[in-house]
Chains A and B, each alone.
Chain A
Amino acid sequence: MPAEYSYHEKLDFLNFRILWHTNYLPLMNMIWEQFLSPKNRLVGSVTDTFNFYVRFVEEDDEEIPGNTALNRYYDCQQGILRLTYLNGAITVEVDYQIRQVRAMIMKRALNYQWAIGNWVLTIPLSELMKLYGLYLMHSACLVSADQGVLFAGKSGIGKTTLTLGLLSMGWQAVSDDEVFLTSNPDLVAYSGPEKAKISWSSWRRFQYYLGQQSRFNSKKLVNLDDYFPGQILDSHSISAICFIEQSDRTVILRLQPIESFRRMLSVGFLTSEPQLTRKNSDFLYNISQQVPAYLLGVGLDVKALHQKLTEIVLH
C-alpha cells in the first residue's frame, strides 16, 4: 500500500470486506460517521475484499460552476470505469479485475459532502457488487405481513415520506432510499451501506410521523432505528414493486411487465461496463416477468395508503 494513505478503516458488508485507505482523516471520519451503518454486517464468510484508495488533494482554488450531480459523466475502457463529478473535482476509477476503487477528491468538493459518500463509496461499491449478481436500485423497501414491497422512484418523489408514514402504521423497513437486490432464487433486498437514516431537515418536516416528543441528537444524520426500534431490517424477500408518482390522492394501478421493466431501467444504476449492464438488464427483465408491479400515486392520507396497499398489493 502506498505510504501516502495513512488512515485505514474496515467495513464488512454482506459477504464482502471493504478496506478503505485515505490520506486525510477528516474525510474518512465524514464518510464513516454520516453514511455508514454503525454496525458492520457480514452475512457469511468473506468471499472477496475490495480496496478503496481515496486521495484528498488540497491545492485547488477553482469554483464549481452550475449544478452538482448533473455535472457527471462516465466512460469505460479496458475494464476500468471512470466516473467524474463536479466538473472533475471528484474522479473515481473502478477497476473490476482487481476489485479496486481509486478516487481523488479536491478540496472544493468538500462543499458537497452530503453526496460524497454516495459517489465514492455506494456507487463504486454497486459496480463491484454487479460482479456477484447484486444490483443497486433507487428504491425504498418496506415490509408488512411478512411481505416485502419495493417503492421505487427518483430523489424527491416521496420515498422517505412514504417510509416514515408506513413505519408509523407498523410496517418494517429495509431501506428508505437504496437497496441491493439479488435472486436467491426469490428476489431479496438488502439495505446498502447507507442505512435508513434521516437528516435534520427531514426530521423537521416529518416530526408528525416521528412524534412531537422526538429529539434530534447532535449528529448530522440519525438512523431510523432510533425512532422505530425493532422495525428496521437488514434484508427481506420481495413480493411486489410499486413505482411512485406524486398524486393528490392514493391510486394503485397494475402495470404490464414492459412498463415495469422500462421504469426499472430509470431507477437502476445502469451506466456501467457494457457486459455488466447486459447482466443488469437481464436481472431487471426477470423481475419484470416474475414480480407484480404497480403504479402508485401517493396522496397525503397515510391510512388510506396503508389500506389500499393491504387490499391490492399485499394479498
Chain B
Amino acid sequence: MRYRQSNSVDWKKFEQESVLLDLSSGYYFRLNAVGTYIWSLLDGKHNLAEIVEEVVKRFEVSQRQAKKDISGFIQYLLAENLIEKG
C-alpha cells in the first residue's frame, strides 16, 4: 500500500521540523524531524516497507519499532485526512 499527501494540506518545512496546515479545517500539526522525514516519503511512490527501510537507515531505531511507529503515524494521518491511499 502506498500513500500520498492530500492536496488540501499545506506543508511548511523549517530546517528539520515542519508544520502541516489542513486548508479545509484550518487545523495545524507540528512534525518533529522523524515525522517530517516520513511525511516527505508519503509521495505515492514509497510503500510502508520502503518507508520503514529509509527511516531505519537514517535514524537510530530498530526495524520492528520503526514499523510499529510508522504504521501508527500513517493511521493517524489517514484519520485526519492529511494523506490518501494510492
Contact = CB atoms under 8 A, between A and B. Distances in A.
Interface of A: 256-258, 261-262, 265, 270-272, 274-275, 277-278, 281-282, 285, 288
A281 B18 CA distance: 13
A257 B10 CA distance: 17
B14 A256 contact: yes
- Choose among B8, B21, B24 the residue with the greatest number of A CB atoms under 10 Å from its CB: B21
Interface string B19-32: 10101101010100
Nearest to B11: A281
Contacts of B69: none
Taking chain B's interface residues, is the majority helix, strand, or loop, or is none over half, making it mixed?
strand
B26 A271 contact: yes
Nearest to A289: B14
Contacts of B28: 262, 265
Taking chain A's interface residues, is the majority helix, strand, or loop, or is none over half, making it mixed?
helix
Given A270-B26, A274-B8, A277-B26, A257 B21 contact: no
Query: Closest 8 CB pairs between A and B?
Result: A258-B14, A274-B23, A271-B26, A270-B26, A277-B23, A281-B10, A285-B12, A265-B28
Given A258-B30, A265-B28, A274-B8, A281 B21 contact: yes
Nearest to A265: B28
Contact of A278 (B10, B17, B18, B19): B10
A261 B10 contact: no
- Choose among B8, B15, B23, B28 the residue with the greatest number of A CB atoms under 10 Å from its CB: B23
B12 A281 contact: yes
B6 to A, nearest CB: 11
Interface residues of B, number: 14
Nearest to B12: A285
Given A274-B8, A281-B21, A261 B14 contact: yes
Nearest to A270: B26
A288 B12 CA distance: 11
B25 to A, nearest CB: 8
Given A258-B30, A262-B30, A277 B19 contact: no
Contacts of B30: 258, 262
B8 A258 contact: no
Interface in B1-60: 8, 10, 12, 14-15, 17-19, 21, 23-24, 26, 28, 30
B19 A265 contact: yes
Nearest to B7: A274
Contacts of B26: 270-272, 277
A265 B30 CA distance: 12
Given A258-B18, A277-B10, A281-B10, 15 more contacts: A261-B12, A261-B14, A265-B28, A270-B21, A271-B26, A272-B26, A274-B23, A274-B24, A277-B21, A277-B23, A281-B12, A281-B23, A282-B10, A285-B12, A288-B14
Contacts of A288: 14
Given A274-B24, A277-B26, A258 B10 contact: no
Contacts of A265: 19, 21, 28
Contacts of A271: 26
